């Protein structure tokens, strides 16, 4: 049984594969394939997402030092949670491709997330955390 390798065409597309000459950047983010396959967004979109994540992180850290100047704790927590959720969504939707992938993956992940949140909200409530 032969092992198929393409090491000889290291940076070039595989022989006899004209489709791969078009880089993923040419695909639109809305392009969906059937089943579990999906189109990848362009590298530039990834860079834009990374810049947004970096800016959000910088602002999060800013609020930490700004606490010293008298912002209320509740306001700080609400802002931090909002930015945390936005960063979470950006990574899951774009870097993990859930925005472009089969919906079953999104449902599975959200199910685990909601289950975890529900279980531990009940746990913290039972222990009178709030």
Partner 1 sequence: MADTMAAEATTHSPHAEEHHTSTGISNEKLAMWVFLGSECLLFGGLLSVYMFNKGRIGPTDVGPNDVFDIPFTSVSSFVLLMSSLTMVFAVSAIARGNLRGNRIWLAATAALGAIFVAGQVYEFTAFYSEGLGFTTNLFGSAFYSLTGFHGAHVTIGIIMLMTLFVMSLRGNLPQQRAETVEIIGLYWHFVDIVWIVIFTIVYLFPQ
Contacts with partner 1 in 26-65 (CB under 8 A)? 33-40, 43, 46-47, 49-50, 53-54, 57, 60-61, 63-65
Residues of 41-59 as b/e, b for ≥16 C-beta within 10 angstroms? Answer: bbeeeeeebeeebeebeee
Give the C-alpha distances (Å, rounded to integers) separating 34 from 37, 75, 100, 101, 117: 6, 44, 11, 9, 32
Q: Shortest gap between Cβ of 28 and partner 1 (angstroms)?
A: 14
The reply to whether 19 sits near partner 1 by the rule CB under 8 A is yes
Within residues 61-120, the interface with partner 1 by CB under 8 A covers: 61, 63-65, 67, 73, 76-77, 80-81, 83-84, 87-88, 91-92, 94-97, 102, 104-105, 108-109, 111-113, 115-117, 119-120
């Amino acid at each position: 049984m032969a092992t198929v390798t393409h090491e000889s065409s290291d940076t070039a597309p595989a022989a006899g594969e004209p489709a791969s000459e078009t880089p993923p950047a040419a695909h639109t983010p809305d392009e969906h394939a059937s089943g579990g396959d999906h189109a990848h967004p362009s590298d530039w979109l990834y860079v834009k997402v990374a810049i947004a994540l970096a800016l959000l992180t910088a602002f999060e850290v800013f609020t930490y030092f700004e606490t010293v100047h008298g912002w209320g704790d509740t306001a700080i927590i609400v802002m931090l949670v909002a930015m945390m959720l936005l960063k979470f969504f950006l990574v899951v939707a774009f870097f993990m491709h859930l925005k472009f992938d089969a919906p079953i993956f999104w449902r599975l992940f959200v199910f685990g997330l909601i289950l975890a949140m529900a279980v531990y909200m009940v746990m913290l409530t039972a222990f009178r955390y709030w």
